[in-house]
Amino acid sequence: MSALFINCSSEPKESPYNPEADSLKYEEEVHFRNVKQLTFGANNAEAYWGFEDTKLIFQSDNPEWGADCDQIYYMDATTPKDENFMPKMISTGNGRTTCSFFLPGDTTFVYGSTHLGNKECPAVPERGPNGAYVWPIYEDYDIFKANLEGEIIANLTPDSPGYDAEATLSPDGTKIVFTSMRTGDLELFIMNTDGSDVVQITDELGYDGGAFFSPDGTQLVFRSSRPKTPEEIEKYTSLLEQGLVEPTDMELYVVNVDGTGLRQVTDLGNANWAPYFHPSGEKILFASNHASERGFPFNLYMINVDGTGLKQVSFDPTFDSFPMFSYDGKKVVFASNRFNGGDRSTNVFIADWVD
């Protein structure tokens, strides 16, 4: 962040933007300005803004921070970071964690963790049939509420067997959307922030996950595999029985928060995922490798909610994903492999957003 210097004039003067100094963005990235790197090394991803736009909560497997596998950390988003930065772990340090999100006030948060089932990191699955990349659906995942000291306040899914994770908050902070296996398939559910009043939103075969609310809180955007042919259905269900999902063929959908009005937004092929509504509520920013022949690169794209107007936003040669706009709409956070020296590390970046 650039410092703000106040002099004796009636209005502070802003320094003119210098593209040459913006060394962490590519020339084609016209929607980004003042790109800043906040982590350095290992795998850092799913960084999401706090309600006051000053904190970021994220997951990392950085062994130098005490992580044997993904654990939850938070950091101040307003100050520069360097290679010596060490954020505070706010998960238990046991099991594997995923998908953390602040509650209003930014002093408590929700996240998924396997630690009740086993304090050890669960095994990472081998690739699926024909060497396909697979995601594990660990049945020990539950959703917890905790404070910034890492103290668990509540288990929000204590009575649900199997996978419960991928929790995010509504803009007013009163509802949680999450993915659960409680019906035998991976469906979306909404509940109150104390875990009460659970309502099922989706009910079609396929992995429905990674959901986020629209800015007005009336809709959800999510990724889904939705197998249709007998062969696709057999493949999906057989993998699910093994606790696996193959995320190589996913499209984006939008649905009302009462479960009505389901509609498909993308039909691009390959993996379209990590969607987030533009502050206007009329567009969606998401990650995709639909233009890739080898599975990568993944880049950020923007599309209208009616599926028109597809536009590429980021241009890294390897990986950009997990975008989230700040609540004031002025900034975007994302995870990227950009400028990592070829060491495969994924890091957290923030940028000013330019419409």
| Structural domain includes residue 11 | no
163 pLDDT tier (thresholds 50, 70, 90): very high
Is pLDDT of 298 > 80? yes
Compute the chain's Rg from CA coordinates. Answer: 20
Q: What is the pLDDT of residue 293?
A: 84
| Structural domain includes residue 9 | no
- Eight-class DSSP state of 273: E
Q: What is the pLDDT of residue 14?
A: 57
| Structural domain includes residue 8 | no
Render 140-172 in DSSP notation, one character per residue. T-EEEEEETTS-EEEES-TT--S-EEEEEE-TT
| Structural domain includes residue 13 | no
Mean pLDDT of 232-237: 96
The larger pLDDT score, comparing residue 160 to residue 329, is at 329
Is pLDDT of 7 > 60? no
| Structural domain includes residue 12 | no
- State how far the alpha carbon of 262 is from the alpha carbons of 53, 183, 229, in Å: 31, 19, 20
CA–CA separation, 312 and 71 (whole Å): 31
Helix (H) or strand (E) holding 230: helix 230-241
Q: What is the pLDDT of residue 10?
A: 47
Q: What is the pLDDT of residue 2?
A: 38
Full residue range of the structural domain in which residue 139 is found: 21-353
Give me the CATH number covering residue 33: 2.120.10.30
φ, ψ of residue 315 in degrees (nearest 5) = -140, 35
10-42 pLDDT per residue, tens = 444 556 878 778 999 999 999 999 999 999 999
Contact (CB, 8 A) for 26 and 38:
no
- Eight-class DSSP state of 43: B
| Structural domain includes residue 96 | yes
Residue with tokens 């803009």: 171
| Structural domain includes residue 147 | yes
Contact (CB, 8 A) for 352 and 331:
yes
Closest CA to 327 of 134, 212, 171, 217: 171
The larger pLDDT score, comparing residue 293 to residue 191, is at 191
| Structural domain includes residue 16 | no
Structural domains counted in the chain: 1
